Structure 1
Amino acid sequence: MCILFIRTNPSPKEGEYRLIIATNRDEFFKRPAKEAFLCPETKIIGGRDLEDDGRGMWAGLRLKDTQKTLCFSCLLNVTGEEIQTGVKSRGQIVSGYLKSDEPSIEYFDNLTKKDKYNAFNLVNVELNKNGVNTYFMSKNPDQICNFSGEQVLAFSNSPVNRPLTKVSEGRVEFEILTQFPKAREELKKDLLQFLKSTEKHLPDPELQRRASDVFEHRCAIFVEIQKIYGTRTHTIILVDRDWNVEYYEETMESPINVDNIVWKKNSFKFNM
């Protein structure tokens, strides 16, 4: 599971941000992963899932040459849907989009026509001087949504029209948290505290239907299940009024020692 919060503002005032992204990655602690890094060949920033030949990504960022567009992509599994065998791995969907020059909907359309995948949600953000668009694209159930201009959005492991309670309630908290101008370090601190929240958002009939055995453990923004599975990476992306970009990550140092967890920090900064 993952959870993703996005605030877009194509015309920010002094001290405001064009883009604010805050997301958690939830995964089994034993699954090997590499912390976020800048790949010199592709110019993609993000972590890697080492179980997918080191090429799998759950989230990433790249400044594409086309109209100097900043592109963010995040993959979210759809909890509770049937798992099929003999289908293509979803791990390279994010990196495939970031490497390509295809617009989001065209990429998604070609992807799902060519290969079969288990259910997933893909959220892409495209930001340039002409504006900002957020695309929610879901496979099983099939769904495409385009949100343009100023928006506050939240997504997780269900269809966009059936959000989990922690998504709908978390969106409100995120909106309040980001509505007024803040210095960068203060905003990052507040967002990290928000991403580490263990408050349970119940009742949640949608999550209970999709994950009846563990829904009480997964109903918080920060997830932990018996030191086996949980939130292991926080990612924050900020683009200010002057087009200064920061990709900030806090992730559990790998291999993860569940009895002595160490959080490692990474930051990548550039100007568009």
Structure 2
Amino acid sequence: MCLILLSWQQQPEHPLIVAANRDEFYSRPTLPANYWPEHPQILAGRDLEFGGSWLGISRNGRFAAVTNLREVESKGERSRGDLVKNFLLTDTNTAKHLDQLEAAKANYRPFNFIAFDGKTLGYSNNAEPGWQSLPQGSHAIGNFPLSAANEKTRKGKRDLEATLHHRGDHVALLSMLQNKESTGEHKEPLYRGLSSRFVSLAGAEYGTRSSSILYRHRDGNWDFWEQLYNTSAADPAFLDPQSLNHFNVRANQP
């Protein structure tokens, strides 16, 4: 169960801060965050199964991220990772892009989608009509519509706010994302494991594969950290210090 935590317009020096975990099957082929050779304006991880991404930024100041929706039926076959890729490749503003997406929502697999054009932070899903411009504050997006908050997203938002208040650097945010405490009262081990912020299920083939921290600076520059995790069946939560990658992206860099 992926989780995206957002601090929006709460810090003058960092108008947008993102802390996110990507949960996925260990066998799904993936490239870590980097600039895409055929689209060098994109800095994002890459899903090698369908060619899209779950989270990324562009040199012209855009940010996009996606999660799947659980317990939502959809006949759409298009990969939700295309939503991230397509937004990062365009220069259409958030409002126009999400307006245009409305007519095509049903073509995609169930999704939550976040889009930021440098000014507007927008949210859309294909379980509900319309989209919304997110107000100033903290937001948590999991694998249910934003309107259907649960204990995992509520606790994530509280912990994001506390972390930013007490320290707030990328090290503290990464530590916060690595919390394995389950939320709610789940008797079934699978659902108890999925309720934790960092998913690590003994003997399972699925779990948290990476954590991402992004700071959008007031001048439009970005800092982007990605922490990768070992996905071996023996120890899927193993943390290798050498697998923490950092990118500093200058605004409008050619």
Q: Give the TM-score band, short-chain normalised.
A: 0.7 to 0.9
For the residues of structure 1 that align with 2:217 and 2:94, how far apart are their CA atoms?
Answer: 23
2:109 to 118, 143, 163: 118
Counterpart check, 1:77 vs 2:73: no
**Counterpart residue number, 1:235:** 212
Preserved contact between residue 42 and residue 99 of structure 1 (Cα < 8 Å): no
Question: Equivalent residue for 1:221?
Answer: 197
One-letter amino acid matched to 2:9: N
Write the distance in 2 (CA, Å) between the matches of 1:140 and 1:153.
19
In the other structure, the counterpart of 1:201 is 183
> Using the alignment, how far apart are the partners of 1:111 and 1:193 within structure 2?
35
| Alignment partners' CA distance in 2, 1:44 and 1:243 | 15
Q: CA deviation at 1:239?
A: 2.6
What RMSD over aligned residues (CA atoms) do the two structures have, in Å?
2.4
Higher mean displacement: 74-83 or 110-119:
110-119
Which of 135, 149, 174 aligns to 1:192? It is 174
Compared CA separation, residues 116 and 244, structure 1 to 2 (3 A): closer
1:49 to 47, 50, 59: 47
**Counterparts of 2:174 and 2:108 in 1: how far apart (Å)?**
32
Q: SS state of the match for residue 15, structure 2?
A: strand
**Whole-angstrom CA distance in 2 between matches of 1:259 and 1:11:** 41
Aligned length, in residue pairs: 244
Question: Alpha-carbon deviations, 1:101-156, whole Å to 9, x = none?
Answer: 222232233234246122211012232xxxx43211011233412124x3211111
Task: Mark the runs of 5 or more structure 2 residues left unpaired by the alignment.
Answer: none
CA offsets per residue over residues 194-251 of structure 1, 9 Å max, x none? 10001111148xxx9xxx8832111111112333101001000013345442111011
What residue in structure 2 maps to residue 32 of structure 1? Answer: 29
Any conservation in 1 of the 2:9–2:137 contact (CA below 8 Å)?
yes
1:241 & 1:106 partners in 2: Cα distance? Answer: 24
Q: Match for residue 19 of structure 1?
A: 16
Q: Name 2:165's counterpart in structure 1.
A: 179
Counterpart AA for 1:137: S
Distance 1:125 1:265, change over 3 A: same
Give percent identity, aligned residues only: 26
Task: Evaluate the alpha carbon distance shift between residue 91 and residue 241 of structure 1 in structure 2; reply closer, same or farther with a 3 A threshold.
Answer: closer
- TM-score w.r.t. the length of structure 2 is 0.86
TM-score by length of 1: 0.81
- The Cα offsets for residues 8-50 of structure 1, whole Å up to 9 and x where unpaired, read as 22761xxx42221100000001111001101253411111011
Q: Secondary structure at the match of 2:81?
A: coil
* Structure 2 equivalent of residue 265 of structure 1: 244
AA paired with 1:58?
W
Alpha-carbon spacing, 1:11–1:224, altered in 2? closer, same or farther (3 Å): closer
State how far apart, in whole Å, the 1-side matches of 2:68 and 2:127 are.
10
1: distance between equivalents of 2:152 and 2:198? 10
- Is the 2:30–2:45 Cα contact (8 Å) retained in structure 1? yes
- The answer to whether the 8 A contact 1:119-1:141 is kept is no
3-state SS of 1:198 partner? coil
User: C-alpha displacement at 1:262, in angstroms?
Assistant: 5.7
In structure 1, runs of 5+ residues without a counterpart are 65-69
